[in-house]
Amino acid sequence: MDAESLIRITEFLHALKILLAATKRLKVKDWEHLKKIAELLEKWGKI
């Protein structure tokens, strides 16, 4: 593993840690909004 690969992996793990912490704070209403956004993105072919 080279240095750049290690940096990318470290950045990914850090982002994952932030995502998991944010996920724990979401309320039911937040999940409903996220679902609507995901449906729109899917409709527009973005995901």
Q: What is the mean pLDDT of the chain?
A: 95
Task: Judge whether residue 1 has pLDDT over 90.
Answer: no
pTM of the model: 0.63
Task: Judge whether residue 4 has pLDDT over 90.
Answer: yes
Q: Domain extents for the chain?
A: 3-43
Task: Judge whether residue 28 has pLDDT over 70.
Answer: yes
Sequence letter at residue 6: L
pLDDT band at 34 (very low <50, low <70, confident <90, very high): very high
Task: Judge whether residue 47 has pLDDT over 70.
Answer: no
